[in-house]
Structure 1
Amino acid sequence: MGKKGVLLVNLGTPDSPEVKDVRKYLDQFLMDERVIDISTLSRTLLVKGIIVPFRSPKTAKLYKEIWDENGSPLLYYSKIQAALVQEQLGSAYHVELAMRYQSPSIEAALERMKAGLVESIQVIPLFPQYASASTGSVIQKVMEIVGKWQTIPPVSFVNSFHDNEMMISTFADNAKKYQPETYDQILFSFHGLPERQLKKCDHSGQHCLKSADCCATLTDVNKFCYSAQCHDTARLIAAELNIPATQYSVCFQSRLGKEPWVQPYTSDTLKELAAKGKKRLLVFCPAFVADCLETLYEVTVEYGEEFKKLGGEEVQLVSSLNDHPQWIAALVKMVKEHHSN
């Protein structure tokens, strides 16, 4: 019997923090039709004519702030995750790591699996909550590539794992060293999405953004909604730590452009909490399984400085899953359970 293939896919990172590499990364990322879901002409004019030329130098400076002797933190931890999963799964499995954008590429990873004569391919997009712009993009890319092969092996996908018990427990474990009960408020800050993308995922057309609390509870109608899955992840982590609903807030960061994105925005939440006299905040970023620009810089530095200007004292980031043994065990269990179904 051939080996079982496992493809772990994260979002991606520039090859270096230099402007040329950041420009290349942003161009590939933002030209994805699922990331900026407008007409090809409009997307091309917006990305290549405005966003990439102006954002690349600024973003490169930010990447230089988090780049260390190991390079990109996202790539560093992703490589460790893949290596540890391979080690624990053993020789019956062929594990590959890929990035949706830049290196290592999905194409190269799949070709190595093909050359290794795997009998099946299981794809795990490393995004806990499903979104068309992340998980959906990975699935589409893999299908485009494998669909051109003459012999197509069984291919399966993990759609989301927002409520994975071991993942929830790992985030909670990472927070315990900070003594969450000593903070004025707990924030669950997720990556943002345009509201139009949430609406597109509502196949009923009758639920999304029709009420202020449409994402508060998972139902058959919104079970694939990114925002609803985010709220559910936050609820589960809070429950694991015995944090009452009044002591935590769900918010969304990394907004791009002026159109409405899923709310509340993290910046607005910081203003509201500061106005209420909150001084110390503990922040989770459960949309990410490895620390990256959005956690290490956007939360720790940008939001930290913003909150202090508003009168706050501390914004403490809870580390992402990174190489936590329980997170590796969660991935291994995910693979084995999926292959046994």
Structure 2
Amino acid sequence: MKSGLPGKTGVLLVNLGTPDSPSVPHVRKYLREFLLDKRVIDIPAVNRYLLVNGIIAPFRAPKSAKIYKELWTDRGSPLLYHGLDLQKLVQERLGKNYHVALGMRYQSPSIESALQELQDKVVDRIIVLPLFPQYASATTGSVQEKVMEVVGTWEVIPDIKFISTFCNHPGFINTFAEIAQTHMAKRDYDHFVFSYHGVPERQILKASTKGYCQLGACCNTYHSRNRYCYRAQCFETSRQLAKALNIPEGKYTVAFQSRLGKDPWLQPYTDNILKELAANGVKSVLAFSPAFVADCLETTIEVGEEFKEEFEKAGGEHWQLVESCNTHPTWVNTVVQLVQEAE
């Protein structure tokens, strides 16, 4: 709804972040900032500090750096350059009464620098769009907390509106559907996998409204009581994508990837599902990663390459990743629409 206020609107697009380079020191620095966030690893601060600095960052950084080198391009990190391209295109579409800035929750460009940019432009209000389709405390919640922490130091705090979820927004669904249709036009697929970044089960239960979520059939419908349940949103996105692509029930699976540690995370795990599919005679899979709107390590490498290798090793024949929204024209239009709807 239009605010009716005069002046300029600031738009802050925020994504997770990326190392400044694929070097081990830069990857280690990124991992430390990311994993020390209390919303990401939600355990006591001392335990989190010891775990990240004593085990995860030292041992994981060299392995992750090798993978980032595979991902890196002449323009650098895809997550960053897709974000910069999106920022430019959205700015062009919105026009002079808006100023669009890009920030990353971790590393560069920082949320602090992006907000300073908006403050320098003397915007009258700010619309914050975390580029995570499904709300989770570790992503959207962390962005919201950081924005308020920074803006809370300002003498004058402008009107601020957060767009917390767009998991079933028609434009978002249509973007992924249009990209998927380019692959579906080339061949028939036996099965479709919607693979989302996982979170620990305890985070779902902690965020549950009056104990509603039971990690079961409660996510079969999407409504006010589970609107901000990450698991429910993932199932809702999948249902809407299946509907848009005419995929019948039984031909698609919702699964979760990228787990860390020994605690139970959201299940089923994608790496287990792909082996089961191959064992059951499924030969071709079209795989989606709809928790991401820009291609990155988790989409291009994990889903696109590592899962492909595992599927073929298990007996499958064809595994195809549906690319992320990136700067697809329908996605650019959708971001513009989300901003305008928030006014």
TM over 0.5: yes
Q: Does 1:195 align with 2:185?
A: no
Q: Which residue of 2 aligns with 1:277?
A: 281
1:1-341 counterparts in 2 under 5 A? 1-179=6-184, 182-209=188-215, 212-339=216-343
Aligned partners of 1:205 and 1:17: how far apart in 2? Answer: 42
Q: Which amino acid aligns with 2:217?
A: D
Q: 1:216-267 CA deviation, whole Å, 9 max, x = no partner? A: 2113321110010010001101100100011111000001011100011001
Size of the aligned set, in residue pairs, is 337
In structure 2, runs of 5+ residues without a counterpart are 1-5
Q: Which amino acid aligns with 1:329?
A: N
Aligned partners of 2:207 and 2:214: how far apart in 1? Answer: 8
Identical residues among aligned pairs (%): 57
Aligned partners of 1:337 and 1:307: how far apart in 2? Answer: 41
Q: 1:36-94 CA deviation, whole Å, 9 max, x = no partner? A: 00110000000011000000000000000010111101101111111100000000001
TM-score with structure 2 setting the length? 0.97
Q: Which amino acid aligns with 1:143?
A: M
Structure 1 range deviating more: 219-228 or 318-327: 219-228
SS at match of 2:253: strand
TM-score with structure 1 setting the length? 0.97
Aligned partners of 1:188 and 1:20: how far apart in 2? Answer: 33
8 Å CA contact retained: 2:8, 2:97: yes
SS at match of 1:139: helix
Aligned partners of 1:116 and 1:223: how far apart in 2? Answer: 34
Q: 1:192-234 CA deviation, whole Å, 9 max, x = no partner? A: 000000001102124332xx32222113321110010010001
SS at match of 2:264: coil
Structure 1 range deviating more: 198-207 or 303-312: 198-207
Aligned partners of 2:318 and 2:180: how far apart in 1? Answer: 15
Moved over 2 A (4+): 206-209
Aligned partners of 1:326 and 1:186: how far apart in 2? Answer: 22
SS at match of 2:102: strand
SS at match of 1:152: coil
Give the root-mean-square deviation of aligned CA atoms: 1.0
SS at match of 2:209: coil
Aligned partners of 1:206 and 1:236: how far apart in 2? Answer: 23
Q: 1:110-131 CA deviation, whole Å, 9 max, x = no partner? A: 1111111100011000000000
